[in-house]
Amino acid sequence: MNAPPTPGSGQRRFGWPRKVFSQVLLMQLAIITGVTILVTGLFLAPLSAQLDDQAMRRALAIAQTTAARPGIVKDLGTTAPSGHGPVQSAAEQVRRATGAEYVVVMDRRGVRWSHPDTHRIGAVVSTDPGRALSGREVMEIDSGTLGRSARGKVPLFDTSGEVAGAVSVGIAYDSVRARLLAAIPGLLAYAGGALAVGALAAYLISRRLQRQTHDLAFSDISALLTEREAMLHGIREGVVALDGAGRVRLLNDEAQRLLGVGPQAAGRPLEEVLGDGRTADVLAGRVVGDDLLAVRGSRVLLANRMPTDDGGSVVTLRDRTELEHLGRELDSTTGLIDALRAQDHEHANRLHTLLGLLELEMHEDAMEFITEVVGVHRATAEQVTEKVQDPLLAALLVGKATVAAERGVSLRLAPGTLLPDRVVDPRGLVTVVGNLVDNATDAAAGSDGARIEVALRAEGRTVILGVHDSGPGVPREQQASIFTEGWSTKDVPAHGRRGLGLALVRRLAERQGGSVTVSGADAGGAVFTVVLPEALAEPGPEGAAETVVGRPDGPPPLTPPAPMGEQR
């Protein structure tokens, strides 16, 4: 059912249009019209003054020419003022020749000797002749017996240089006004042409704005901007917009938090804001792909880039730090389960062996077997804790040795390994060692004489870590990119992406001012060397006499000391 019409609904209501095209066009036309009228008025005002000045100068020139005629001063002294006298005749001749309104010659008393109206000859002039009779030339616009005129007055001098009278010439002001009015049509034609060109330009600009704004109203654009700001700063994904020149156009709050930059980054080049590195390469589009990994500080980011029509781009960032931590905790849990399973397998075999010895009533052999097993485990733990005095790192190496042994890899400490219990950031060092040992285990597994050698040394407050495996090694052409986020030779795990372990190792090392490098060994395999300056605290009084093992030249060789954990 249709709603009843409201009063006046059938009538079209005229008002200010809503569309950007119409509003901009009307505003520009109003501005152009106003400017045209203003410019025309500003041009007419000096034109009127210029015409007045020209008329006064013309009157003055005619007066000067009349005063210079021979016989005028002599006739003033020898004849009487008359409508038929020589002065009147000479003045009328000049007036008719120049088109002036009047040419009046007066004596020193201001009495007219010439005038277009002969009845006024012999009478005193109607305007003050004082300045001209005092010897000065005068230009003015004034009103006299013949109406308003542009005047020029000059004195008449006798042979002795005394003022004998004056000449006053007037040009009708109506002729000045006529010249002004005659100039107006041409001026208006120019103004109309300028107005037409301006209107055409306004229309073209408005059409361009109409296309760029999709013919939306200003209120709609304002609402869209408000909604965009609310959306950008409300979502929990980072958004970075770049222009065609690579400058940061926009960062929302989440992007500022993830990248560790402030709002002042807007308008600056991307490299200046982020510096060199994979994160800047991903955002700038130098690294292409979907769901690209980047590490910024301690955060693991997932980036996707979408180019825009103007040559810029919009990049979305997702924080995968917690997910990566959960994945690594899952990896740690899986490793712990593997270690427990290996230990369970090992203990089951030993218990079966012990049970057999007891069933065979070989009691002395059973006692000897138990003593040997306990001694091996104790020796393994003592070997690690003696050389690696940090408890977290020692526990990590013992666990990793068990897991490596289950996979057929022998993990041992290099000769000269000694790390005091003064590590500033034990958890960070555990992460570095754990990642490198895991990678070395994967590389060495299945190789001939599979083994890993870990070297930990202290030089003053610097910790030097070396991990050498017997795997295939790292090709020389890939050694520069192996620490890049997303680089990996392993299959993708179920919980996420690979290629972050070595990248995190590099980040942790660089955060402490250190470095990580990879090289090949003469005996084969890869050697990872990590240098961590200021990784140890200052030694206390009890540690003053502590022996510091010097750094040998090059990475430690694989040597045959007893492995930590038995290899099957």
**Tokens at 418, concatenated:** 């000694």
Average pLDDT over residues 529-549: 66
CATH topology of domain 235-319: Beta-Lactamase (3.30.450)
Pick the CATH number of 23-179 from 3.40.50.10190, 3.40.50.300, 3.30.450.20, 3.30.2020.30: 3.30.450.20
Average pLDDT over residues 344-355: 72
Average pLDDT over residues 307-316: 86
- pLDDT (0 to 100) of residue 486: 52
CB burial string 89-109: b at 16+ within 10 A, e below: ebbbebbeebebbbbbbbbee
Query: Does residue 215 register a pLDDT over 70?
Result: no
Q: Are strands 410-413 and 451-459 parallel, antiparallel or unpaired?
A: parallel
Q: Quick check: 94 and 66 in contact, CB under 8 A?
A: yes
- pLDDT (0 to 100) of residue 455: 92
Q: What is the pLDDT of residues 233-265, one digit of tens each?
A: 767 788 888 888 888 888 888 888 888 888 888
Which is nearest to 506 in space by CA: 488, 531, 489? 531
Q: Are strands 238-242 and 248-251 parallel, antiparallel or unpaired?
A: antiparallel
Helix (H, G, I), strand (E, B) or coil at 293: strand
Residue ranges matching CATH 3.30.565.10 in the chain:
323-487+498-532
Q: How far apart are CA 293 and CA 318, in angstroms?
A: 10
Q: Please name every residue paired with 217 in a beta bridge, in sequence order, or none if there are none.
A: 19
CB burial string 189-210: b at 16+ within 10 A, e below: eebeeebeebeeebeeebeebb
DSSP string, 176-229: HHHHHHHHHHHHHHHHHHHHHHHHHHHHHHHHHHHHHTTT-BHHHHHHHHHHHH
Tell me how many degrees the CA angle 173-178-180 measures, rounded to the nearest 5: 100
Query: Does residue 549 register a pLDDT over 50?
Result: no
CATH topology of domain 323-487+498-532: Heat Shock Protein 90 (3.30.565)
Angle between helices 426-444 and 391-406 (to 10 degrees): 10
**Tokens at 357, concatenated:** 């010895």
Q: How far is CA 421 from CA 318, 396, 416, in A?
A: 38, 15, 16
Q: What is the pLDDT of residues 418-477, one digit of tens each?
A: 888 888 888 888 888 888 888 888 888 888 888 899 999 988 888 999 999 888 888 887
Residue ranges matching CATH 3.30.450.20 in the chain:
23-179, 235-319
- pLDDT (0 to 100) of residue 260: 84
Query: Does residue 328 register a pLDDT over 80?
Result: no
Which is nearest to 554 in space by CA: 502, 509, 519? 519
Q: Which helix (H) or strand (E) holds 156?
A: strand 147-157
- pLDDT (0 to 100) of residue 249: 84
Q: How many residues does the chain have?
A: 568
Q: How far apart are CA 397 and CA 559, in angstroms?
A: 18
Q: Quick check: 287 and 281 in contact, CB under 8 A?
A: yes
Angle between helices 173-212 and 20-67 (to 10 degrees): 160
What does pTM read for this prediction? 0.43
Say how many C-beta atoms besides its own lie within 10 A of residue 328's C-beta. Answer: 18
Q: What is the pLDDT of residues 382-425, one digit of tens each?
A: 778 888 888 888 888 887 887 787 788 888 888 888 888 888 88
Four-point Cα dihedral 504, 505, 510, 512, nearest 10? 110
Q: If DSSP states are collapsed to H, E and C, what string results for 299-333?
A: EEEEEEEEECCCCCEEEEEEECHHHHHHHHHHHHH
Average pLDDT over residues 42-52: 71
- pLDDT (0 to 100) of residue 495: 40
